[in-house]
Amino acid sequence: MTVLNIALSQDADIFAVVDTFASASITPVIVVDGNGGDDVITILDTHAVMTVNAGDGNDSIYVFGNSSVLNLNGDDGDDTFYIFASLHENTSNVSPGDAGPVGNTIIPTEPMRRSTLTAAPATTACSFSQPS
Ligand SMILES: [Ca+2]
Ligand SMILES: [Ca+2]
């Protein structure tokens, strides 16, 4: 059961999660919906299972840390995922969703090995880039 649902606007939003309340629930209790627009969503830490639905638009999601399972859904658009940290095995689940003309980009760093990438739909172009 979702405890906290944050719905951003249909325009381009800049939103940061510094930390969450703590929850032992194994299903998402926090849902962030980016909705339309080219959103920039940054996550610094979590202590509850959280799902980010970036929604339509070319969204950028930055993960600097998470202490609970984090589900990242890019949804439609050319989304870019910057996974700089994932504290535990399989705690960052990336599902890029359908892409536009550019394609989705996932920029993994060393901890990305601890993350799970959901198989992209056949229509999705998905490239992996190392940060320079
Ligand atoms: Ca938005
Ligand atoms: Ca998107």
Sheet holding 116-117, edge to edge: 4-7, 30-33, 50-53, 70-73, 92-95, 116-117
CA of 87 to the centre of ligand 1 (A): 27
Task: Give the total number of structural domains in the chain.
Answer: 1
Q: Which domain holds residue 13?
A: 4-128
Ligand index nearest the alpha carbon of residue 55: 2
CA of 132 to the centre of ligand 1 (A): 28
pLDDT tens readout for residues 110-131: 444 455 665 454 444 455 555 5
Report every protein residue that has its C-beta within 5 angstroms of ion ligand 2.
54, 59, 74-75, 77, 79
Number of neighbouring beta carbons within 10 Å of residue 42 = 15
- Look at residue 64 in the predicted model and tell me its pLDDT: 87
pLDDT tens readout for residues 11-62: 999 999 999 999 999 999 999 999 999 999 999 999 999 999 999 999 999 9
- Look at residue 83 in the predicted model and tell me its pLDDT: 81
- Look at residue 125 in the predicted model and tell me its pLDDT: 46
Evaluate whether 124 touches 105 at the Cβ level (below 8 Å). no
Ligand index nearest the alpha carbon of residue 79: 2
- Look at residue 122 in the predicted model and tell me its pLDDT: 40
CA of 132 to the centre of ligand 2 (A): 24
- Report d(CA 84, CA 110) in Å as an integer: 8
Highest mean pLDDT among 1-10, 81-90, 94-103, 108-117: 1-10
More reliable by pLDDT, 92 or 56: 56
